Chains A and B, each alone.
Chain A
Amino acid sequence: MSDNAVASTGEQAGTRPAEDDVLAELTAPVPEVGDGGPEMVQLLTPEGQRVENAEYDEYVKDLTDEDLRGFYRDLVLIRRVDAEATALQRQGELGIWASLLGQEAAQVGSGRAMRPQDYAFPTYREHGVAWCRGVDPLNLLGLFRGVNHGGWDPNEKNFHLYTIVIGAQTLHATGYAMGIQRDGDVGTGDADRDAAVIAYFGDGASAQGDVNEAFVYAAVNNAPVVFFCQNNQWAISEPNERQTRIPLYQRARGFGFPGVRVDGNDVLAVYAVAKQALDAARSGQGPTFVEAYTYRMGAHTTSDDPTKYRVSAEVEVWKHRDPIERLKSYLVHTAKADQEFFDAVDTEADELAAHVREGCLSMPDPTPDSMFDHIYVEEHPVVEAERREFAEYHAGFATERGH
């Protein structure tokens, strides 16, 4: 999120795009937009048609209609939360927000494939995964509002704190998985005991040394970790070709574990692929790299201006691959959900948005001296001395006013 000092441009006086630029944009050839290629796992077409898949059908065969409606509800609710957070930022209530718009299926599919004892290590955009883990969306806002740096208890829902340094969490996830191995919680066959870790990161992070080191550590330790890359095509302003010469999922082979590309806008396929990878990890087969091929429909963050580096025609292509519309279409034409259901979800989404808005507006500011809390577990003389100095300094003003 290193762009947060960049003000959005284009609408300020004197920076309106020239007429020639607008014409050039309108007449430019539509860029070639990748479709994921023939090896990409897809169970629902963008039109919502179910595609059979000999390998992955098995992982969705036990899903009930209620489960599928649950996926739809997750997708809609988290998109609504995300939109509300974006609005709160626009109204000055959040300093910044990293929108997940377009990536809902990648997050819900993988989040719902986890078991309670599994552990997720997110970036700062995994609002949908947080939702699936049962984390109140309000918890996510503190960081973006500037009242804390996260602050939730990661062990409550096995959802680690957001990590802003790109890719660092993949090593933490791998180490956590090495701990699971040492606890003997892999390959016992006990469904309630065997655990896996899922490390989220993006296409940009795939270039980071940390991520590549995490692949090495996971591979040589056969650690129960799933590397879940949401390839949303853009690392702020840099497209995939600035990060890689080969499809990302193919990198896994060089590290010695399987790599799978899945349609990241197909919640069913993501669920299947993530479930296969998590099952493998829990049973002792080691890591898998999942590349969820998706698209960041919005800006990198609310401080970003994607019109400076990508054309709207590309966004239009991806609109037709929308994760929510495709599942809705499938639910409608297979009669697994009716209008009453969709209306109820919309109502629930509005209620959740209101909860997020009210919770954000009523979120207490931290007390000034709380910045001295929790730096160390054990009492620390420097921290305590400065805490006292800080209190005395402010008490001095109170005395002056008193006089």
Chain B
Amino acid sequence: MGTMTIAKGINNGLRAAMERDPKVVLMGEDIGKLGGVFRVTDGLQKDFGEDRVIDTPLAEAGIVGTAIGMALRGYRPVVEIQFDGFIYPAFDHIVSQVAKMRARSLGKIKLPMVIRIPVGGGIGAVEHHSESNEAYFAHTAGLKVVCCSNAEDAYWMIQQAIESDDPVLFYEPKRRYWDKGEVDESAAPRELLRANVLREGTDATLVAYGPMVKTCMQAAEAAAAEGKNLEVIDLRTLSPLDLDTVAASVEKTGRTIVVHEASTFLGMGAEIAAALQQRCFYHLEAPVLRVGGYNLPYPPSKLEEEFLPDLDRVLDAVDRSLAF
């Protein structure tokens, strides 16, 4: 048991996975001596060597493309994409190769690899450093997409993603990298593909993942002060979605607000709303609402506080839901 940041949780999880399985290799830009621009891989090259912690050329299609080849040879590559907005050069390999290779071989080969992506805004960055592109990949069959929101999940989920025989996109909430939390390294971990009810409530359900989980927890506390009792679910897995956990909550509260940084149009919230109206139609007391980024290219950082959902926008949606 110890207190650590999310970044350190991932770092410790990577270390544990590398100690356990010599086939686990890390690949990415600046992940060696520097430890990555967020220091998530800090110290790993020193301890595991340059053959297992590989500083790659600055070419993302190349990182993922060569990682595919490493996986075909029997390795378990864990790829770091430096920022969310830099994954697009690798999009073709992820969607056309990583996601489809197993089906193409009729199950004769597998591609166990993890693609780590720091995700989201709120850090005052320049363009392309604040994007939330998880829905592109959740839309693609053959991939699994998960997102951690706290140090304990960070530690366990990265190890579970590495152990998965399927390719996993692993989103890391970059503005929360330095948030601390308790991690019990000896406890049994939660299942990777399960959502987690972080706070029980009766009036409405907030559904979030990654950086917005903290925002929703704060919103729930603020609402409690006003006598509203909100349930908060951390999705943790975006593909597949753990709809059983979400539906069970909605059947109890009757009201749902999905919160994410990504633009709402065709985002995770759209899928969740559609699924809930099919599964929980007679339990819904109000339409499923979405709070997300506006449907714009990510704005200059001076405007990002206006663009991103915050506590007030979440509470505003809660009020609209309860007013139904």
Main SS at interface, chain A: helix
Known: A182-B75, A213-B57. A377 touches B165 (CB 8 A): yes
B108 interface residue, CB < 8 Å from A?
yes
Q: Are A216 and B57 in contact (CB under 8 A)?
A: yes
CB contact under 8 A between A373 and B107, given known A168-B97, A174-B69, A380-B240? yes
Whether A376 touches B57, Cβ cut-off 8 Å, given contacts A175-B70, A382-B240, is: no
Chain B residues contacting A220 (CB-CB under 8 Å) are: 57
- Which residues does chain A contribute within 8 Å of B66, judged by CB atoms? 171-172, 174-175, 178, 214, 217
* Beta-carbon contact of A153 and B73 below 8 Å: no
Q: Which residues of A contact B69 (CB under 8 A)?
A: 171-179
A213–B110 Cα gap in the complex (Å)? 24
**A interface bracket (residues with beta carbon within 8 Å of B):** 35 or more
Measured in the bound complex, the distance between the Cα atoms of B164 and A180 in whole Å is 23
Cβ of B239: which chain A residues have Cβ within 8 Å of it? 382
| Closest beta carbon of chain B to A201's beta carbon, Å | 13
B66 to chain A, nearest CB (A): 3
Distance of A175 Cα from B69 Cα, bound (Å): 4
Does B93 interact with chain A (Cβ within 8 Å)? Answer: yes
Q: Is A243 part of the contact surface with B, judged by Cβ < 8 Å?
A: no
B51 touches A182 (CB 8 A): yes
Nearest Cβ on chain B to A18's Cβ, whole angstroms = 42
Report chain A residues within 8 Å CB of B101. Answer: 161
The answer to whether A168 and B70 touch across the interface, beta carbons within 8 angstroms, is no
Provide the residues of chain B in CB contact with A373, threshold 8 Å.
Answer: 103, 106-107
Which B residue sits closest to A183, measured CB to CB?
B73
In the complex, chain A residues whose CB is within 8 Å of the CB of B181:
none
Q: How far is the CA of A206 from the CA of B69 in the complex (A)?
A: 19
B56 contacts chain A at the CB level, 8 A cutoff:
yes
Expressed in whole angstroms, the Cα–Cα distance for A170 and B61 within the complex equals 11
Interfacial chain A residues near B77, Cβ < 8 Å: 175
* Contact (A213, B62) CB under 8 Å given A155-B109, A382-B240: yes
**Supplied contacts A154-B109, A176-B73, A177-B69, 14 more A-B pairs, CB within 8 Å:** A152-B108, A160-B72, A168-B92, A168-B96, A172-B97, A178-B69, A181-B51, A182-B25, A210-B61, A213-B59, A375-B103, A376-B166, A377-B164, A378-B166
Binding site for B on A (CB under 8 A): 148-155, 160-161, 163, 165, 168, 170-183, 209-210, 213-214, 216-217, 220, 373-378, 380-383
